Chains A and B, each alone.
Chain A
């Protein structure tokens, strides 16, 4: 479903990804762990298509199609979704207006009819309730004044409403309290299906107790230096990255 092949990327003059290869099949959840600054967010931005991130080699295929030449909105319409590590605040754009615009933009690009306001309100409110997002938050400016955890919940709400075929979660667990972690994980698990894939970036094994991954990969200095099953996360929790960072150096 998602194939990352020998991906090299740089920001400005700084080469950050040095040949990442990773494959996530439909129905699977792959976890990426790795030290700070190893390039995890960079990888997620390159996949989502953020400007300024230059791919110098390699490709990223979604269902066999190279997405690297598409603008971010087309990648989104193809079913790609990135839950940001640091969601942006956009004053003046109310959260629910934004959610509706996003849903309808994707429907339009796929040639589907736009959602009516009542139909949209119904799915939005239902989704928000499941994630414990208060209704008044949806009337505020997008992410404006939201707490760290509230922003992460909203990212998951967006994912739930947009029903992507492939979701990337960049440290969605950081900033969440214990209850929220469980609620958010349930939200993700509810989306898991034979047709969907996920890439879950995290520092903590605890999230992976809730969202049980099919594979775990260690990213260090812009490369995947170790891959394994879910037990790899436990090992990392115990021993840290020392062994792998040394390998990469």
Chain B
């Protein structure tokens, strides 16, 4: 009856389907979960004929699915500062003390008594068509829910530290929810590590109320999971500002996908990032930005620096819905290839259905400018140093947008060390 040729399931897809059926009914969000399970059953893992995944053929790259990490011990550690630990997909550490107006709770506790409104926030429409997001919706059991009360300014960054326990290879799935109250502001720093070989599927869902400000940072570490799909799903309300910076320097295979929706007028969206890739690393940044209402602003700036046989992907799609007049969009993606075998796939896209908008994009792929290198060398800088100066300048144009000073300094340091190691 289905006219499509049924695809033969890969070993990984078969395992993932088994993980689904092994899960007991979950209560309040069972309907959302079943919907996701059905979607995954139909679509399977994304592959190169799925446009959004064209350059990252996950079905082909993910030969097997490692067993789901066992839920961590129920005990939750009390952390200093505003640090949250997500270990093996479960909330394992929460801040000992919270400033007024900030609540942070384990998702499993919230789910136990969640109402329909919260379930809807946790499983938004945006991104739900993506089968890896569906996989997450179907299999993640825990994570964290962060809420800021109206008008509250949280100065200390809230750190979401993802890792795994030690031991056998595993997959870990988690879903986190941030609800920023009207006029509140907060910084969320997401760091990813793992102590075992890991396949990670993490999703972060953010809702920004009117006039809220969220500054988000996504950061890899030198112990990053081998395979990681990180989904960021955001709804930006009126006059709110959502800024996200991705700093990617580690991990074998990373896909960062951002589904950002401007749902209120005069909202601002800023997505930026730097990718430092070497060896056989592959990093894919795919953005779907939707301006659903008028007067929105979006800015994207991504810089890839690629050497060895590594490959980078940037796909940025800006959709301006009919009626989303006065949208102001600007997208820039630039890549620097430092070796013959380095590859970059750059695909900015504008889909505009409103007539009174200003949207532009620019994408470049290039090598270091030999004349600039010579100029610096003629002043005494050794070749590697001269190249390093130019690469740093290239990356810094994006890094300077990182709002959090500590994170910015950390990225600059990682960049220097990365450049040091290449010479």
B interface residue numbers (CB < 8 A to A): 370-372, 374-383, 385-386, 389-390, 392-394, 396-397
Contact = CB atoms under 8 A, between A and B. Distances in A.
Contacts of A101: 381, 385, 389
A92 B394 contact: yes
B390 A90 contact: yes
B301 to A, nearest CB: 13
Nearest to B375: A88
Q: 3 smallest A-B Cβ distances: which pairs?
A: A92-B393, A106-B380, A102-B379
A105 B393 contact: no
B393 A77 contact: no
B397 A76 contact: no
26 contacts: A71-B377, A72-B374, A72-B378, A73-B379, A73-B380, A73-B386, A76-B379, A88-B371, A88-B375, A90-B372, A90-B376, A91-B393, A92-B392, A92-B393, A92-B397, A93-B390, A98-B376, A98-B389, A101-B389, A102-B379, A105-B379, A105-B382, A106-B379, A109-B380, A158-B379, A162-B379
Interface of B is mostly: helix
Contacts of A76: 377-380
Contacts of B392: 92
A73 B392 CA distance: 19
B57 to A, nearest CB: 35
A157 to B, nearest CB: 12
B78 to A, nearest CB: 43
Given A101-B381, A102-B381, A162-B379, 7 more contacts: A72-B377, A73-B378, A92-B393, A92-B394, A93-B390, A98-B379, A101-B389
A14 B104 CA distance: 71
Interface of A: 48-52, 71-73, 75-77, 81-82, 84, 87-88, 90-93, 98, 101-103, 105-106, 109, 158, 162
A90 B393 contact: yes
Contact of A105 (B374, B380, B390, B397): B380
B383 A73 contact: yes
A239 to B, nearest CB: 35
Contacts of B389: 93, 98, 101
Contacts of B371: 88
Contacts, number: 75
B377 A88 contact: no
Nearest to B395: A92
Nearest to B383: A71
A245 B392 CA distance: 47
A67 to B, nearest CB: 12
A77 B379 CA distance: 8
Nearest to A102: B379
Contacts of A50: 374, 378
A61 to B, nearest CB: 19
Contact of A49 (B372, B378, B385, B393): B378
B380 A77 contact: yes
A92 B396 contact: yes
Nearest to A50: B374
A106 B382 CA distance: 9
A82 B378 contact: yes
A101 to B, nearest CB: 6
Contacts of A51: 370, 374
Contacts of B383: 71, 73
A76 B386 CA distance: 13
A221 B134 CA distance: 72
A168 to B, nearest CB: 10
A182 to B, nearest CB: 26
A90 B377 CA distance: 13
A8 to B, nearest CB: 21
A246 B383 CA distance: 43
A71 B378 CA distance: 9
A154 to B, nearest CB: 12
Contact of A73 (B372, B382, B397): B382
A162 B380 contact: yes
A110 to B, nearest CB: 9
A98 B388 CA distance: 12
Contacts of A73: 377-383, 386
Contacts of A105: 379-382, 385
Tell which of B372, B376, B377, B378 has the most Cβ of chain A within 10 Å.
Answer: B378
Nearest to B381: A105
Contacts of B380: 73, 76-77, 102-103, 105-106, 109, 162
B362 to A, nearest CB: 15
Nearest to A92: B393
Contacts of B378: 48-50, 72-73, 75-76, 81-82
